[in-house]
Structure 1
Amino acid sequence: MVTPHSLRLVVIAPDLSASDAADEAGLALIERSRQLRIGLLENGYNIVAVLPVDTFLRERLAQLQPDMIIVDAESEARDALEHVVMATRDERRPIVLFTNDDDTRHVRDAVAAGVCAYIVAGLEPTRIRPILDVAMARFEHEQGLRRELADARSELNDRKVIDRAKGMLMQRQGLSEQAAYEKLRKAAMDKGLRLAEVAQRMLDVADLLG
């Protein structure tokens, strides 16, 4: 597992311009965002970039290759999450959202979309590391389940291909099921290929020749 000292974070935050400091609410937003970044740094995390939500987010994340994405959403948390989830759709990464938006009606959808932690008003420095540790552990667990599911599907497809190739040999060469399997296995060993690869090549040639 990646340690906090080597964990590379990208913070997705609103662009708080100087005009936001003109009123008390704007000042509070700026201070809250600053405290979040200070808390991350004090806990030993490496912030490699602070990015706005814009049309270039996907390309910037692909270039930076962060280990985790922190979403600092002052308001409109759902809109920010939708952009981040879309930007990481092809290359999933753990996402943690910190927000003051107490409208949690869309939390279920956010978690289903890949958000590992959804933290409302949780900026105490002592809470940051446990939150990120749990988020990373949850992400790694889910990725493991995804790999297991992909492996199971691949194995099932391999079995179907091998069974089709065995059936073809049995029909065309009058072989028993065991003899057809042994013929496929010997061809795989001779060519240094997986059994399913040999079976698929055999089926492809048979389709080509009719």
Structure 2
Amino acid sequence: MPTRQLRIVIINSVPHMEEDHDPVAHAQSQHRAEALRHGLTEAGYNIIAALPADLSLPDQIARLQPDMIIIEAESDARDVLEHIVIATRDERRPIVMFTEDDDTSSMEAAMAAGVTAYIVAGLHSERVKPVLDVALARFRQEQKLLTELSETKLKLAERKLVERAKGVLMARNGLSEDQAYQKLRGLAMNKNLKLSDVAQRILDAEDLLG
């Protein structure tokens, strides 16, 4: 995916001035937000929305379909993480969190919620692109591993079905293991089905017959 086509949603969970009553912290938050947006703009990313961390977030994410989610958070971002879990439950996306919270438990909670990269303090506009590039590469690698793991589990499950169906044919028809396999294979070819689908049908029939 080319950098300049990357569609980004920014989620801001930093308190407003009237909420935190801390001018220094507010100024730091503003500086971080400006550095982030400047870095994104300079790198050519497409910021399609800046959203508050509220109950409408899952619906907004589903509507906008961003390629990446960026979270701005000072500390204790549990609420936004809960919304993120819901918003990305059915379709995972790379998520980068920029925060001032260096607490280990906060980082672990963020990673468990699906955050790809957890960046603490020191945000400079020139760092934004390298951070997002690494996060995107890591996300793609994780997705590849998850896909491979899912495919491996599926193959093992299918193999177990075939072995059980072979056992049924061997017991029912007095066939050898090789003969049972060849019968399964022939049925699959004749019906244009996967071997595991034929095996499942044989097992279902066996269950019905008792």
Contact persistence 2:39–2:127 (CA under 8 A): no
Matched, 1:208 2:177: no
Pairwise CA distance, 1:60? 1.5
What aligned pairs does 1:187-206 form with structure 2 within 5 A after superposition?
Answer: 187-206=187-206
Distance 1:121 1:54 in 2: 24
Q: What percentage of residue pairs aligned between the two structures are identical? A: 55
Q: Which moved more, 1:7-16 or 1:183-192?
A: 7-16
Q: Secondary structure at the match of 1:5?
A: helix
Q: Does 1:56 align with 2:51?
A: no
Q: Distance in 2 between matches of 1:122 and 1:157?
A: 48
| 1:77/1:99 contact within 8 Å kept | no
Contact 2:14 2:73 in 1 (8 A): no
Cα gap change, 1:107/1:28 in structure 2, threshold over 3 Å: closer, same or farther?
closer
Shift in CA distance, 21/44, structure 1 to aligned 2, threshold 3 Å:
farther
Give structure 2 stretches of 5+ with no counterpart: none
Residue 51 of structure 1: how far off its partner (Å): 1.1
Amino acid at match of 2:127: R
Aligned pair in 2 of structure 1 residues 57, 172: CA closer, same or farther (>3 Å)?
A: same
**Match of 1:98, SS?**
strand
Distance of aligned partners of 1:165 and 1:22 in 2 relative to their CA distance in 1, 3 Å threshold: closer
**Who is 1:110 aligned against?**
110
The equivalent residue for 2:176 is 176
- Aligned twin of 2:3: 4
Q: Is the 8 A contact 1:21 1:30 kept in 2?
A: no
Closer, same or farther: CA 20–41 of 1 in aligned 2, 3 Å: farther
Residue-pair matches, total: 209
- Whether the 8 Å CA contact 2:69–2:93 is kept in 1: the answer is yes
User: Displacement of 1:200 after TM fit?
Assistant: 0.5
Structure 1 residues 200, 179: closer, same or farther in 2, change over 3 A?
same
Paired position in structure 2 for 1:85 = 85
Query: TM-score normalized by structure 2?
Result: 0.89
1:14 aligns with 2:7: no
Mapped partners of 1:41, 1:107: distance in 2: 27
Gaps of 5+ in 1: none
Secondary structure of the corresponding residue to residue 4 of structure 2: coil
Distance 2:29 2:122 in 1: 14
Q: Which amino acid aligns with 2:84?
A: V
Residue 121 of structure 1: aligned partner: 121
TM-score between the two structures when normalised by the length of structure 1: 0.89
Q: Give yes or no for contact 2:76–2:106 (8 Å, CA) kept in 1.
A: no
Distance 1:157 1:59 in 2: 35
1:28-82, Cα deviation, whole Å (9 max, x unpaired) = 4234323312221211111111111111211211221111110011332344334
Runs of 4+ residues over 4 Å off in structure 1: 15-23
**1:115 aligns to what SS in structure 2?**
coil
Alpha carbons 1:77, 1:101 under 8 Å: kept: no
CA distance in 1, matches of 2:17, 2:99: 21
8 A contact 1:9–1:70 mirrored in 2: yes
